[in-house]
Structure formats: structure tokens, C-alpha cells
Amino acid sequence: MSNFGNKIIFILLLLCLSLFLYLKSKKVDFNYNTEILELFEKKEYKFIAHAAGSFDQNIYTNSLEALNDSINKGFKLIEVDLLETKDGHFVGINTWSDFKKDNLLDKKYNNDPMSFSEFKKVNILKGYTPLTTDIINKIFSENKDLILVTDKTNNFKKINQDFKFDNSRIIVEIFGKKNYFKSIKDGIVNPMFSASSNDYDFIIKNDIKLIAAHTKDIIKNKDVFKKIVKQGIKVMAYTSNNKKFINENLGITFSGVYTDYWDINKNDCLALKCITY
């Protein structure tokens, strides 16, 4: 190969390296909704009703009954897991395989999406109403102090298109660094980066103000999360119903917590087994 060819290759490699270093060092230009962040200082906004909350001691139902019960219990942050049906409708569901298994819908229990019409016919656990976009829109439009928390989907544009209430009242848990930037580009107002203690530098560098973290990671790396909370970053821990764990860590290693059975007024768990998991 000629010297000229070698120079061309060197220049191309140098350009690629420069581009890589630029993208690596680039900080996303984004400002968090300060009103939402300030709400986490209030007691009722420190607890997230996990998968719409428990109902009759059942969890992960993502049902209308669980959602209404959580509202009656004083929850202001309601998580609904969102997945799309095979014909493109958002519905409240954690995984298709578990949904089929829990409701004995078939013997394969695969993770293939159902159609919207099939989904709407299901009585969850033979008694509960499945959540659709229309139901969520109605409830959150009527209750303007509620905040919808969701995850499972990376279809960020569809979130803003399908939910008709103020999108400043939607928090979306984001998995992966690329998806974090994509969510901002696609108009998510309150991205909550799903983080581990290993992401500390990324969080600080990108001025991320809202993260979700697993309780096991928080327990194992308390000092890291104490440092994060001290810097004013809101850390939402998933998931705990244990009074001792919550009282010892709330405001110290995390700012709020996903919970199934918590009584906000009594500051206690309402279940027989109040575990952290």
C-alpha cells in the first residue's frame, strides 16, 4: 500500500477516534421538571404503588381495582407497567407470559402479545379489570394530583401521543444509556434512569436528577447511594414493604420506594409478609 493510502487510513482513524471522544464527552442539554422533583419531599409522594398496588393481597395485577384502591389509600405515585398488544395498544401488564399463566389463558404461556380485543375480555384473577389507555386517561385526568410512573416500553413517542393528560405528570423509567438520551429526544419530560452503583459517574456527568435502583444494589452499596442522595438526586428504590428497611433508609440511601402493601398514614405494611425484594 502506498504512503498516500496509509495517510488516508490514518486520517480516517483519527476522525473516528475524535468523533468517539466527542460523543463520549458530550453532555445532554436537558433540564428536569423541578416541580416534580420538589413533590418527592412530601410524604405521599415518597411511595410508589407498585404495578398499581396490591388488592386483596394480590400484587402485580395492574388492574383498575388495584389502582382505585391505591388512590383511596393516599398514593399519589401510581406505577402501571405498559406493554403493547400485537395491534399496537398500550395495556397494563408486566409480562405477557405471566399474564397468560396467572389467568390460565393457554398452556404454552409464551411471551407473544395478545390482541387488544382478547386482552380486554380477560377478568384478571377472575375478578379484576385490566387497564387500558382509555381507563388510565380517564382516572389521571380526573385526579390531577396523581403522577403516572411506567416502564417496560421504549416507545416514548407513543407515550406522549396516547396519554392525553399533562405529560409533566408522567415519569418513565428508562433502561440503558442510549435509551436515556433517546427518551429526552422523543419528548419524555421526566426520564427516570434505571441505574446501578456502577453508573455513578454517568449520573453525575449528565446531571441526572431522577433514578431508579434495585434494593439489593442499595443494600450492597450504601455509601454510593448516600452520596447520590446527598447531591439532591432523587433515588426511587424497588421494591420493599419492610418497615425497618424503609424507615432506616428513606431519605438516606433512597428518596422514595416502590411498594405493594404500604399504609402511608400508619407508616406500616399491611401484609403478612413484608419483605424487601
Domain layout of the chain by residue ranges: 29-269
Query: What superfamily in CATH does domain 29-269 come from?
Result: Phosphatidylinositol (PI) phosphodiesterase (3.20.20.190)
- Name the pTM for this structure: 0.89
pLDDT at position 256 is 98
pLDDT at position 6 is 67
Query: Of all residues in the chain, what percent carry a pLDDT higher than 70?
Result: 91
Length of the chain: 277
- Nearest Cα residue to 75 out of 55, 56, 57: 55
Buried b (16+ CB within 10 A) or exposed e, 230-261: eeebbbbbbbbbbeebbeebbeebbbbbbbbb
Query: Of all residues in the chain, what percent carry a pLDDT higher than 90?
Result: 87
- Nearest Cα residue to 139 out of 202, 35, 67: 67
Write out pLDDT tens, residues 127-176: 999 999 999 999 999 999 999 999 999 999 999 999 999 999 999 999 99
Buried b (16+ CB within 10 A) or exposed e, 53-84: bbbeebbbbbbbbbbebbbebebbbbbbbbbb
Q: How far apart are CA 86 and CA 112, in angstroms?
A: 8
Is-contact 22 231, C-beta < 8 A?
A: no
- Pairing mode, if any, of strands 90-92 and 82-84? antiparallel
Write out pLDDT tens, residues 24-79: 545 668 999 999 999 999 999 999 999 999 999 999 999 999 999 999 999 999 99
Q: 263: part of which helix (H) or strand (E)?
A: strand 262-263
Is-contact 219 198, C-beta < 8 A?
A: no
Of the CA atoms within 13 Å of residue 245, those in its CB half-sphere come to: 22
Mean pLDDT calculated for residue range 234-249: 98
- Average pLDDT of the chain to the nearest whole number: 93
